[in-house]
A and B are shown apart, each in its own frame.
Chain A
Amino acid sequence: MAEETLQGKPVSPGIAIGPVFLYTHDEIDVPQDQIQASDVARELSVYAEACEKVGAEILEIIQRTERQNEADILNTHMLLLNDFEIAAQVRQGIENQRWNAAKAIDTAFREVADMMSAIDDPYLLQRAADIHDIRHKLLRQVLHIPAKDLSTASGILVSNELYPSDFKQFDRKRIAGVLTEQGESTSHAAIMARNLGIPVVFGVRDVTKKMRDGEIAVINGSRGEVILAPTPATEEKCRRLYSVYQKSEAVKRQYLFKNCATKDGQPITVEVNAGSLEADFEKDCKCSDGIGLFRTEFLYMESTALPDEETQFRAYRHVLQAFAGKPVIIRTLDIGADKQLPYLPLVKEENPALGNRAIRYCMANPELFRVQLRALLRASVYGNLWIMFPMISGVEDYHNVRDFCDTVRLELEACGIPLSNSIRYGIMIEIPSAAVMAEELAGIVDFASIGTNDLTQYTLAIDRVGRGVEPYYRPLHPALARLLHHISTAFSTQGKPLGVCGELAGSPEGALLLTSLGIRQLSMDSSKIAGVKYVLSQFEAGELDMIGAYLLKAENEQRIWAKLREELAAHNVISTDQDLQG
């Protein structure tokens, strides 16, 4: 069999290699025979007994779990198992239709699952999987079908579909990775899977048909990839990657909750990027210095109508309170023709990246903008609020939004609503004109954050999603390094905080580049924090300056990459992200 690479959905990162353990949920054969009137009582008690046993089974798992999110899921299962409406349907099947207990259970639970799948709601579609989980458990009890024993499973667990409770049936020390054909990253199963901290990939079509027990497979949870029948060379490469990955994960873990500093103790601010209320803010707050970018688009995109002031206020208050006085930079709505809202169609534009987006759209729709600003200002008394405006091209853009913001503030004050006096106002620097005007902007704003993704796109005139032009997207282009240095000098001269919240800040090379250019505040996805803290702790401030001076003279991107890689290697930084991400 030739080596084959299959693509699925990445659910939990990391790499694993090992023998396959196949575990399939075969559809249970349900007997169709009718029962006699005299058997009704017996079948009812068969059902009652099965409920009791399954209930005890779920309870036992609840007591074993240490995680609240898992207990919540299992408690929901318990309620569904004992739901009197479903129970009434099962009993009716036995009493009126004269079905045997198994058929009555199967029919009732399938009907509920179908009803949930029929409603146009992605969350409910996932709840149908919970119903099937319980249906299978009940049927196994009634029909005396022993569950395939997962407690001895080891290696890479491969299944057509794993139900939430399956994740509590195996020994996680023996399982290196999990792979399934079905499943969504929003499912309860995905939550359980991520809790395991091992690589997990869902949605690999027909994978159970392509694999046999004991065969070696590689699973890359970072890329959502699986390699079947790896050649000896691939296997060797993956084993090496695996061991390096394990080592670097262990090293990084030690740095997660430490303060970020250079080797000689110069502090560096590390913040998290967030864009929903689902994140683990308690942990994020402990391992960071605040939120460097809170995207507000989710409030608008995951809703069926424009979110009102109250909904927004509660969301902002929640995140401000969660960060207990640490700075929380909230970016005002950054929406445009490339990110459409279902209830608010924007005019299609030839070139949305250069069009009516972010503050341009907000200033053109003052009613919509006013609602967001009112909610933000009202929430300001609950924490340390920094408001950031995206797509500012220069001094006049900033003056215009600030004037509008001040009008809204006066309105609220006139109504006697308490507001914080220490709100800070700042800008995203993502348009090259703003980068060029950094000195003037630094003079009037309280802070700024560089959006490297857009700044790269606009500076290099390269579409981030453009097909065929990928080679021209060069995030480490020397022109960008020089622009970053220019901005950094302007802000440090004025003593104003300057951060970077683009993807660049979260990679080892990017963090090294940015700090070398004098930037001392980096914001990233929380999964990147430990790695960046570790990398920066290996360099002295003086070394960073020397690297920066070299980079500013580089004439092409290759030189910059080479220098950064060379410095990382010289400081014993083991980086696998690049290899894993490919």
Chain B
Amino acid sequence: MVICETKVINKTGLHARPAAELSSLAMQYKSSITIKNLSRNGIEANAKSIMRVLTLGISQGMQVAVCADGVDEEQAVHQLIALIDSGFGEV
């Protein structure tokens, strides 16, 4: 299992398009992947479900953790964190 933390920097947070991009990317991996909102009591969700990701209510400035478990866990966490850090083209 691989876990990595980062801060969400893009303006709109993980709402709509950025959430869509995140869950689309997560779906490309075999590992089971969860995303945690550390700024809202650590509530977590399956990163492959856009609906679940949306309901975490992740806004700009919040701290999140991405956690993957499976054959491609390294790669999955690395790429998902990179996507969040890129600011989804908004910053």
A binds B: yes
Chain A residues in contact with chain B, CB under 8 A?
72-73, 75-76, 79-80, 83-86, 112, 115-116, 119-121, 123-124, 127, 130-131, 188, 276-278, 302-305, 307, 310-311, 314-315, 318
Nearest B-chain residue to A82, judged by Cβ:
B50
Instruction: Give the Cβ gap from A262 to chain B, nearest Cβ, in Å.
Output: 39
Cα A123 to Cα B46 with chains together (Å): 20
Cα A314 to Cα B51 with chains together (Å): 28
Instruction: Give the Cβ gap from B68 to chain A, nearest Cβ, in Å.
Output: 17
Nearest A-chain residue to B60, judged by Cβ:
A303
Out of B11, B13, B15, name the residue touching A276 (CB < 8 Å): B11
Cα A311 to Cα B60 with chains together (Å): 9
Cα A116 to Cα B46 with chains together (Å): 16
Instruction: Give the Cβ gap from A95 to chain B, nearest Cβ, in Å.
Output: 19
Contact B87 A116 (CB under 8 A): no
Nearest B-chain residue to A120, judged by Cβ:
B57
Nearest B-chain residue to A315, judged by Cβ:
B91
Task: Give chain B residues whose Cβ lies under 8 Å from the Cβ of A303.
Answer: 60-61
B10-24 vs A, CB cutoff 8 Å, 1 = contact: the mask equals 011101110110011
Contact A76 B17 (CB under 8 A): yes
Chain B residues in contact with chain A, CB under 8 A?
9, 11-13, 15-17, 19-20, 23-24, 39, 46, 48-52, 54-55, 57, 59-62, 87, 90-91
A to B CB contacts below 8 Å, 17 in the list: A80-B50, A80-B51, A83-B51, A115-B55, A121-B57, A123-B12, A123-B15, A123-B16, A124-B15, A303-B60, A303-B61, A304-B39, A304-B62, A310-B9, A311-B91, A314-B87, A318-B91
Given known pairs A112-B55, A124-B55, A314-B91, the reply for A305 and B12 (CB within 8 Å) is no
Given known pairs A79-B20, A123-B12, A310-B9, the reply for A84 and B49 (CB within 8 Å) is yes
Cα A205 to Cα B82 with chains together (Å): 45
Contact A302 B11 (CB under 8 A): yes
Task: Give chain A residues whose Cβ lies under 8 Å from the Cβ of B11.
Answer: 276-278, 302
Instruction: Give the Cβ gap from B81 to chain A, nearest Cβ, in Å.
Output: 15
Contact B87 A124 (CB under 8 A): no
Out of A75, A85, A278, A318, name the residue touching B49 (CB < 8 Å): A85
Task: Give chain B residues whose Cβ lies under 8 Å from the Cβ of A277.
Answer: 11, 90-91
Instruction: Give the Cβ gap from B57 to chain A, nearest Cβ, in Å.
Output: 4
Given known pairs A303-B60, A305-B61, A311-B9, the reply for A127 and B54 (CB within 8 Å) is yes
Instruction: Give the Cβ gap from B58 to chain A, nearest Cβ, in Å.
Output: 9
Cα A84 to Cα B27 with chains together (Å): 11
Contact B57 A76 (CB under 8 A): no
Cα A115 to Cα B43 with chains together (Å): 14
Contact A304 B57 (CB under 8 A): no
Instruction: Give the Cβ gap from A289 to chain B, nearest Cβ, in Å.
Output: 25
Contact B59 A79 (CB under 8 A): no
Task: Give chain A residues whose Cβ lies under 8 Å from the Cβ of B60.
Answer: 302-303, 311
Contact B16 A73 (CB under 8 A): yes
Cα A276 to Cα B55 with chains together (Å): 25
Cα A76 to Cα B18 with chains together (Å): 9
Given known pairs A76-B17, A79-B20, A276-B11, the reply for A121 and B51 (CB within 8 Å) is no
Task: Give chain A residues whose Cβ lies under 8 Å from the Cβ of B13.
Answer: 123
Cα A237 to Cα B60 with chains together (Å): 47
Task: Give chain B residues whose Cβ lies under 8 Å from the Cβ of A311.
Answer: 9, 60-61, 91
Task: Give chain A residues whose Cβ lies under 8 Å from the Cβ of B90.
Answer: 277
Contact B55 A84 (CB under 8 A): no
Shortest 10 CB-CB contacts between residues of A and residues of B: A85-B49, A119-B57, A123-B15, A314-B91, A121-B57, A72-B17, A79-B50, A83-B51, A76-B20, A303-B61
Cα A85 to Cα B13 with chains together (Å): 21
Contact A307 B16 (CB under 8 A): no
Cα A278 to Cα B23 with chains together (Å): 23
Contact B39 A83 (CB under 8 A): no
Task: Give chain B residues whose Cβ lies under 8 Å from the Cβ of A76.
Answer: 16-17, 19-20, 50
Cα A79 to Cα B23 with chains together (Å): 9
Task: Give chain B residues whose Cβ lies under 8 Å from the Cβ of A130.
Answer: 16
Task: Give chain B residues whose Cβ lies under 8 Å from the Cβ of A304.
Answer: 39, 59, 61-62
Task: Give chain B residues whose Cβ lies under 8 Å from the Cβ of A86.
Answer: 49, 51
Instruction: Give the Cβ gap from A7 to chain B, nearest Cβ, in Å.
Output: 29
- What would 11 more interface pairs be, CB under 8 Å, given A120-B57, A130-B16, A304-B61? A75-B20, A76-B19, A79-B20, A79-B24, A85-B49, A116-B54, A121-B57, A123-B15, A127-B15, A314-B9, A314-B91
Given known pairs A76-B17, A84-B48, the reply for A116 and B9 (CB within 8 Å) is no
Contact B50 A83 (CB under 8 A): yes
Instruction: Give the Cβ gap from B44 to chain A, nearest Cβ, in Å.
Output: 13
Task: Give chain A residues whose Cβ lies under 8 Å from the Cβ of B55.
Answer: 112, 115-116, 119, 124
Contact B9 A85 (CB under 8 A): no
Cα A302 to Cα B12 with chains together (Å): 10
Instruction: Give the Cβ gap from B65 to chain A, nearest Cβ, in Å.
Output: 18
Cα A73 to Cα B46 with chains together (Å): 21
Instruction: Give the Cβ gap from B19 to chain A, nearest Cβ, in Å.
Output: 8
Nearest B-chain residue to A127, judged by Cβ:
B54
Task: Give chain B residues whose Cβ lies under 8 Å from the Cβ of A307.
Answer: 61
Task: Give chain A residues whose Cβ lies under 8 Å from the Cβ of B23.
Answer: 79
Task: Give chain B residues whose Cβ lies under 8 Å from the Cβ of A305.
Answer: 61
Instruction: Give the Cβ gap from A266 to chain B, nearest Cβ, in Å.
Output: 39
Cα A314 to Cα B52 with chains together (Å): 28
Contact B9 A127 (CB under 8 A): no
* Residue of A80, A278, A310, A315 most packed against chain B (CB within 10 A): A80
Cα A307 to Cα B48 with chains together (Å): 29
Task: Give chain A residues whose Cβ lies under 8 Å from the Cβ of B49.
Answer: 83-86
Cα A79 to Cα B51 with chains together (Å): 9
Nearest B-chain residue to A115, judged by Cβ:
B55
Task: Give chain A residues whose Cβ lies under 8 Å from the Cβ of B15.
Answer: 123-124, 127
Instruction: Give the Cβ gap from B26 to chain A, nearest Cβ, in Å.
Output: 11
Cα A544 to Cα B68 with chains together (Å): 68
Nearest A-chain residue to B46, judged by Cβ:
A85
Given known pairs A115-B55, A310-B9, the reply for A127 and B16 (CB within 8 Å) is yes
Nearest B-chain residue to A303, judged by Cβ:
B61
* Residue of A85, A119, A307 most packed against chain B (CB within 10 A): A85
